[in-house]
A and B are shown apart, each in its own frame.
Chain A
Amino acid sequence: MKKICCWILVVILFSHTAYSQNPTKDRTVTGRPLPVISGVVRDANGAPLSGVTVSVKNEHITVMTGEDGKYTIHVPSAGAVLEFSHVGYASVEKATGTLARLDLVLKSKSAGLSDVIVVGYGTQKKATLTGAVEQISAKTFESRAVTNVGLALQGETPGLVVTRSSPRPGNEGLTFRIRGATSVNGSDPLVVVDGVPVLNSYSFLNMNSDDIESISVLKDGSAAIYGSRASNGVILVTTKRGKGKVRLDYNGNLRFTTNGIINYSPNMQQYATEWIEANKEETVPNWWVWGNMDNMLKMQKGVEGAYPLFGTDYFIFNANRIDEMFARRYSYQHNLSISNSTDKSGYRLSFGYADNKGNLATAYDGQKQYNARFNYDYKLTDKLKLESGISLVDAMTSSPSVGLDNTLYGYDMPFFPAKNPFGEWFACFNGIDGGANRNAAAMTSDGGRDNKNSLTGRIDMKATYQINKDLALEGLASVQNERFNEEKYVLPVPVYNWYGVQTGIGNGTGGTNNQYYTYAWTSFYQYYSALLRYNKTIDNVHHISAVAGINAEKSNYQWVSATRVGFDNLGVQDISLASTAAQTNGGFKSQNGRYSYLARANYDYGEKYLVELLGRRDGNSRFAEGYKFKNFGSVSAGWVFTKEDMFRDITRIVDFGKIRASYGSSGNEASGLGEFDYLSTISVGTAVLGTPAALQTSTTLNNNGLVSYTRTWERVQQKNIGIDLAFLNSRLSATFDYFIKDNIGMLTSVNYPSELGGSAPMTNNGHFNTKGWETVVSWKDARKDFSYNLAFNIGNTHTLVTNVQGADSYGAGKNGIVNGYPYQPWFVYKTDGYFKDQKDVDAYYAKYGNSTDLAALQANNPQATLRPGDTKKVDVAGTGNITSIGNQQSSLVYKGDGTPHFVFGFNMGASWKGFDLSAFFQGQFKQSIMRSGWMAFPFQAIWTNQNPAFIGKTWTTSHPNAIFPRLTVNPDRAAWNYANNDFMLQNNRYIRLKALIVGYTLPQAIAARMKLAKVRVYFSGNDLWETAHVKDGFDPEMGEASVDNNGYPYARTWSFGLNIGF
């Protein structure tokens, strides 16, 4: 109630002051008419520019240019300075002197140092910035032809690393990292849209990219103004607002996808070859269900048909599962917007519709999305301005409820056809095994649907009251609401053998899997802020600006779910049609809040010496009483040395040079913290007891009663030093930054002896250090009709974890945190080639026969003993025991970390008359990965699919210098030979053409004749080409996993688009 009162008071005060103003008239000074200045503003091509803001410096007089680029403005006195600004163009200041007419050409901006860019709680000139901030303009999104905003940001700026783990629309699994990881508790940057943090990542990713005016990436201490959630950097999004004359824009594209890298699955010939080659190496062959070598030889020849095995016939066909299940699918997107502004008000209304489809051919797998946004600005008086924004996103993801899992590739060899001769779904292995009723094509087609619908609404209201010339008060309120509904049903899919006899119900669709599940999630997020802004210039050289205020956030969520087991599909799907015999339900609700006081002051002297001070006091409901609030702050300074007289000589070459340094601390609230983790809460569940059995209430203490009352914020200290340079009339520009981030008191779960009886709660423990650098170099030039630009960005980070209690042990493979090592260090067996001969093997057993790792590979066991050609692991510790256990006593060596390094982006673009071409490459030079899962190496398990990439590359007596060890069908020996050995680490280096855009814009004159403002057609391709170092058939962006849980191939996108402005 109190809260509501506060806001009513704010509104009343605003309205009161608003109505107390005198009606605005033409300003007059002592009765004389003011000087009037008029003119025309044009772009570099000579076309008139509408919607340019023309204002008198240090006065509140603003007009806008009309359709013809013309403006007329009254100035208070002769000699006033006019400021011209327009989004996408470099702002210009002109002293008017005694002129009555002032025509101007605005240059479009591209990384120009005179740009005004959006920073936290305001805008700043790039020239006077002391922090590390990158801005990405709307142009980035115009022709990328991806609906997902996150995908469009891939590689656009150094230090923002965007990775995706899946090509499925709505399920891309995107992660964002600004300057690498900061904490083991997730390092997601904060996303702020129009000054307000977004409800969740989807409400950012699902934004209509056509609505985005610009995106700023705050990378260093300058993000600290956002406090609590900003220690991983901030992505600031500004949406388009009404501007200039009435304008109607349409843009749309149609696209289709083709399969990308798909070499990870074998055909029957390759599969058989791998088995035959492996068994050639065995003294005790094992043909598994394939019985004997003759069958495999037949398979190797590609003989399709019946294989009499296991008391039945296996029917094997070279049924390429990729062809069977993935095909070209068409997606499209339409955006329509209308915008207009006058000196009183402005609006922009936009609508978007997109249907994005994944490549799945057996069923629809994609996301349909509707977007609407209405931004409306109104100037009540000269002093009071209101800005509002309403947006609505409805995203509907629909996919098969079963089948996109390990049955696609990981489990079964892809040579069982989808259907038998009767046209019925065919069970792999002819359904012989009770667990073999698998068929991904059948399950995705008939196994039911999983439909998710997320409806997110958001309303922003912002009022700015100019108290006096220097001081303004700003109040902002935003409410966001997401309603998420999921309906998932699984239908039993009967599967059959080759002779038309049903062998069972398809994998994952029978029994209790056959159910109807519904889930409803609602979250409500409120954000309020009140800010005072102060701007003053004294003696034309002392520029002071300051902002101070409060912001408050609160989010509430709740969910309910219900399940009924037993559902028949009669064409209508609803929970009410499922069996009530076994129904369960659940639900939960919770809340959390944040409250912060913030202040920032900037001072610059003649745009030469720059200082910024910032302080925050952050509170969070996730911590216990007394530990909720903590203070943070930062200081930064800059020196534009090219403005110094002593450097005048170099300014002929270096137009602009600035050195920046910043030091700051901000809080980080670990994402792993629950809302009320500091309380020992009770979880209520059910247990099954009784005869007949029934559900009985069962409770547990969360985390088995282990809580920490005293934990508090992580404190992240950031140090940054940077230099900005521009050469040769700003044609060449470069930026370089070096930074150090220290997370002190990182929230981690300490490993205590298991005797504790539960995992310890996260406590402030340990130190996470990140060091890195990043640089951007760009070149742009124009000659008459031809202009071109090139830009290259690259960055690298290195992490170090220290002082985490209980984090001293490591094991084979990729570890999480280990004191004294980077985040995710690799510990692998050191190997010394392969055994040359039996003598070599015998000598090894004599020395290391009692090793822990050789327990299952005894010398006297012909099935499992090591042989010539098997891997020779080195006894690094000199203990005579080859083992992965015991840290320094083990045979493991540290081999770098698993995070991406030297991540880069490369843009190039050119335009000639109406034609434009741009290409954008993204990649990384170093990332150590080791393939995991069933297809990581041959015969990790004998019953899975096998990766054909190893064929011909393994040790044999005639090929002793092969890159991989001898093949074996014994899984223990295969693990010894391959798993976690140093030679299995691959460098995931790649460069990929993320986007290629070719467009043509109709000349203005012709367009005008058609009564159109703009006509542009373009082709845009995504992920069309790459070169990757990973040679095992997987996509470089797919990460380390093989296809255990999914085998969805990565896709290339080809699209054709049209932009029309009316």
Chain B
Amino acid sequence: MKKIFDCCIIGGICLCIVSCQKQFIDLDPTAQFTDAVYFKQPSDFKAYTAGFYNQLPGWDFSTMDNSSDLSANANSNGNDLGRGTISVGSTSWDYSGIRSCNILLSKAAAYNGTGDISQYVGEAYFFRAFAYFGMLKRFGGVPVDTTVLDVNSPELYAARNSRYEVVTQILSDLSRAIPDLPTEQTIPSTDKGRASKWAAEALKAQVELYEATWERYVGQAPDGDGASVGAGGKGYDAANVNKYLSDAVAMCQDVMDNGGYAIWNKNSDPTMTNLSSWYLFNLEDAGSNPGGYDKSTNNEFILYKVYDYTYKQGGINLTWTSGQLYPSRKFVDMAVCTDGLPPQKSALFQGYHHTGDEFQNRDLRLLNYLYASTQAPASITLDFGSLGSSGYGNSKYEVYKYGPAPAGRRTDNTESANYPVIRLAEVYLIYAEALYELNGAITDAQLDASINKLRDRAGVAHLSNALATANGLDMKEEIRRERAIELYREGRRFDDLKRWGILEASLNPSRLGRVVGDASYSTDFKDASGNPTSSYNASSYVWGEEAVQTPAGTLNCVVVDSYQNHTVAAKHYLYPIPTSQIILNKKLLQNPGY
């Protein structure tokens, strides 16, 4: 009897415990949704697309054209391309943003709710195009995926699509994004920073100009044959160049006419002392400039990454390092004089005998970008130092009132200006360049509707056909010059040099600093007998001096980065595909020359 009783106890307990199993094993998340219940209402889509904005470029020294022909600093970001020392192991091949967009589009396809989600669908197309454009600029043709891949998807092991197929995909995505996205005018202030219809049109124009000029000036050589090397030329159509250019003009025209954007020109406010081109890039709250303008006054930025002193600071020592992003001799000689003519053509140019001479009667942008001032310093000391000083400073991106409180306003890493991704100035520049590339000419009215508005802010005379003809200027070069000056250190220079087909010619010469002259051309740095003055620590310049053509004749300049360090070649128009990816997917063929 007792035995049976014991058995009952044991059996009972066992049964009971087995039924407890579920309590321990079949658990659900207590603080997370699964995607089974998500993406059911517009706010879910809105929240998901908010994450896309992290994909926009932000404050980062690697997007500041370091080591380009306009830069003479030793901060090494950009050295691999600027010097032609790209290694095949290191470049990034990132599809995570593309996957996020594909996820949203697949969830949108399955959406059967009542609220409108078209804006968010448009954002997904926009960001997918943005991501593929980044890949195109870096690698040329890449595999194009428009669905959400799984680990078993055969697409993972597919060959590269050609650049022409990638461009087709980008333009198709943007064409779908444009009608879905709201106009800037209808985006509420709480959502400012999200992509507008105009941003998509501006991006489309940017892509079209990029591709049209690439096809015109670089051609098909970097494509390879697609069978043993490169992504191949599938889908190439010579007629696309003009098609793209005319659409780029149309896109810009729409943004210019209907976007409601305007150049941020506060030069009429005397407290702003003609420094609009400086204050625009450190615009934060009312304390960020003497005129009391805050971010809400800026309707020049069409697409930008939002930063905020409270919620999202720049996080890099922007002001300190910006000061060391020295411009090169080439850049300083490029800016026009107030008569609208380049220094070599202008009677206003003052030469180099004294430190400040070359800045007399020049483009305000030169002084704004270099010295946060309208006056150049009267004396400087040329010392190579540890960073290879060119003798010029850089102030673009530097903050107003740098230093700790109470004397200063901002210290390093806390600078929080919005980062411009596309601004109206670039739309003007695209417009002018696309028109000229399309027609071989541009009218004065078209110039006045576009880049002459930039010249107004820069305090220099308008560019006109008459000015060009009278002074023997090449209009195409003048438009490119305007672009180089206006978009200085905004991450466009390397791509421009490539699509104009002048990468090797531009990057292989030495990066030079100040003119130091010699006995026949004395300066503050060399006396009449050609000896270095106390302002010139000649022995510190490890690469010595080089005589080059300047607006004042062939003169000696200090060398910051010697041509000997530069081996840029045809292959550098594209980056190499990372070897690790080729090991994983044997069908990825390396770009030519690597």
Contact = CB atoms under 8 A, between A and B. Distances in A.
B19 A10 contact: no
Interface in B91-133: 93-100, 102-103
A60 interface: no
Interface in A494-530: 494, 502, 504-505, 510-512, 530
B584 A690 contact: no
B10 A595 contact: no
Nearest to A806: B584
A502 B38 CA distance: 53
Given A2-B20, A680-B34, A698-B51, A757 B308 contact: no
Contacts of B157: 753
A9 B33 CA distance: 36
B296 interface: yes
Given A565-B310, A752-B584, A861 B565 contact: yes
Contacts of A680: 34-36
Interface in A1-35: 2-3, 5-6, 9-10, 13, 17
Contacts of B24: 552-554, 593-595, 619, 621
Given A9-B16, A590-B31, A689-B192, A753 B23 contact: no
B506 interface: no
- Interface size grouping (class) on chain A: 35 or more
B192 A690 contact: yes
A504 B317 CA distance: 13
Nearest to A763: B151
A582 B150 CA distance: 41
B313 interface: yes
A621 B143 CA distance: 38
Given A582-B311, A676-B29, A699 B194 contact: no
B155 A755 contact: yes
A145 interface: no
Contact of A682 (B38, B100, B402): B38
Contacts of B402: 434
A690 B306 contact: yes
B6 interface: yes
Nearest to B578: A754
B88 interface: yes
B579 interface: yes
Interface stretch (B410-418, B479-487, B528-536): B410-418
Contact of B51 (A558, A692, A699): A699
Contacts of A853: 87
Contacts of A9: 12-13, 16
A682 B308 CA distance: 26
A860 interface: yes
A886 interface: yes
B89 interface: yes
Nearest to A808: B583
B189 A691 contact: yes
A687 B55 CA distance: 12
A700 B51 contact: yes
B21 interface: yes
A6 B17 contact: yes
B254 interface: no
A174 interface: no
Given A13-B13, A681-B35, A760 B51 contact: no
Contact of A289 (B79, B85, B386, B584): B386
Contacts of A592: 27
Contacts of B552: none
B103 A705 contact: yes
A755 B313 CA distance: 31
Contacts, number: 289
B73 interface: no
A700 B307 contact: no
Contact of B151 (A467, A752, A811, A885): A752
A809 interface: yes
B149 A284 contact: no
B47 A697 contact: yes
Interface in A190-222: none
B31 A754 contact: no
A684 interface: yes
A754 B93 contact: yes
A532 interface: yes
B306 A689 contact: yes
Interface in A220-254: none
A589 B31 contact: yes
Given A701-B103, A705-B103, A687 B19 contact: no
B404 A755 contact: no
A751 B585 CA distance: 11
Contacts of A689: 50, 53, 190-194, 306
Contacts of B89: 811, 852, 883-885
B308 A688 contact: yes
B458 to A, nearest CB: 26
Interface string A751-788: 11111111010010000000000000000000000000
Contact of B584 (A434, A751, A855, A856): A751
A756 B386 contact: no
B156 A628 contact: no
A511 B583 contact: no
A589 B310 CA distance: 28
Nearest to B92: A754
A697 B50 contact: yes
B554 interface: no
B320 A760 contact: no
B30 A679 contact: no
Interface in A535-562: 550, 552-554, 556, 558
A10 B13 CA distance: 7
A530 B13 contact: yes
B305 to A, nearest CB: 9
A952 B50 CA distance: 58
B190 A694 contact: yes
B32 A502 contact: no
Contacts of A884: 89
Interface string A880-893: 00011111000000
B140 to A, nearest CB: 16
Interface string B61-89: 00000000000000000010001011111
Nearest to B157: A753
Given A530-B17, A593-B24, A756 B156 contact: yes
Contact of A705 (B18, B85, B99, B296): B99
B389 to A, nearest CB: 12
A502 B295 CA distance: 31
Nearest to A510: B411
Contacts of B414: 510-512
A864 B542 CA distance: 13
Contacts of A752: 151, 156, 584
B50 A858 contact: no
Contacts of A755: 93, 95, 143, 145, 149, 155-156, 581, 585
A587 B562 CA distance: 55
A691 B192 contact: yes
Given A471-B6, A692-B296, 18 more contacts: A5-B16, A17-B9, A502-B404, A511-B413, A512-B414, A554-B23, A621-B25, A621-B26, A690-B192, A691-B295, A694-B190, A704-B100, A753-B156, A756-B99, A756-B151, A756-B153, A758-B96, A855-B86
Q: Which 8 pairs, one residue from A and one from B, show the smallest C-beta to C-beta distance?
A: A757-B99, A434-B320, A693-B308, A593-B24, A698-B50, A687-B50, A757-B95, A691-B192
14 contacts: A10-B13, A284-B542, A434-B320, A435-B320, A530-B17, A532-B10, A550-B17, A581-B310, A587-B31, A621-B24, A681-B34, A689-B190, A699-B48, A699-B51
Interface of A: 2-3, 5-6, 9-10, 13, 17, 284, 286, 288-289, 310, 433-435, 467-468, 471, 473, 494, 502, 504-505, 510-512, 530, 532, 550, 552-554, 556, 558, 565, 581-582, 587-595, 619-621, 625, 628, 675-676, 679-685, 687-702, 704-706, 750-758, 760, 763, 806, 808-809, 811, 852-853, 855-856, 858, 860-864, 883-887, 942
